[in-house]
Copies of this chain bind each other. A is one copy, B any other.
Amino acid sequence: MATSEEEVTLLGVVGSPFLCRVQIALKLKGVEYKYVEDNLNNKSDLLLKYNPVYKKVPVLVHNEKPISESLVILEYIDDTWKHNPILPAQPYQRALARFWSNFIDDKCVAPAWKSVFLVDEKEKEKAGEELFEALKFLENELKDKYFGGEEIGFVDIAAVFIPIVQEVAGLQLFTSEKFPKLFKWSQDFHNHPIVEENLPPKDQLFAYFQARAQSLATPK
């Protein structure tokens, strides 16, 4: 638990899957925090101060020290509050968790965004195929109820991106025929009390993705 001496602030934009990762992790640890909503189209001075490199949410500010990039934040949370571990204890299992979380960011996130945002049908189809290929690897990697075993862990939290995009885009990625294990995982994951509580409502998800599409379309 965060003690009363600790100040934990989270900068985010509701609907962001990356914010969602951090919210789930903080909730798993029982860390209380102050949430500050930013604006995708008019970034706050606070965000520019705390994440001058990428200028992106989420940013976790712990006792005035800012940490950016969602997977780095997850590691920080696990290093700082040791109970209810997110990463496994064994070095090899930790390496696999890092490998697959990076894989999700490298191979799933970009084609998933494209599946949502692209207008050109051919390019959209290509992105869908790339995502399909990446999901085959994940399907193969899923050995237990969750990627983390019987409890949700680092890879499950990283993978929150995928069911969210599926919901927004109306993609039928996780049908039980194509990906039986991922299909079951997405149901169990959604129904996990901490995940359920931290997933943004549909209308806020749609609003976020619309704002994001708008910010991408606006010349900088």
Contact = CB atoms under 8 A, between A and B. Distances in A.
Interface of A: 53, 62, 65, 67-69, 72-73, 75-76, 79-80, 91-92, 94-95, 98-99, 102-103, 137
Contacts of A68: 99
Contacts of A73: 95
How many copies of the chain does the oligomer comprise?
A: 2
B53 A75 contact: no
Which of A62, A73, A79, A95 has the most C-beta atoms of chain B within 10 angstroms of its own C-beta? A95
Contact of A65 (B65, B75, B92): B92
Given A67-B99, A72-B99, A137 B53 contact: yes
A144 to B, nearest CB: 18
Given A69-B98, A76-B92, A79-B91, 6 more contacts: A62-B92, A65-B92, A68-B99, A72-B95, A72-B98, A79-B95
B76 A91 contact: yes
Nearest to A97: B72
A75 B98 contact: yes
A91 B95 contact: no
Given A53-B137, A137-B53, A91 B80 contact: yes
Given A53-B137, A95-B67, A72 B103 contact: no
A79 B94 CA distance: 9
A105 to B, nearest CB: 10
Nearest to A137: B53
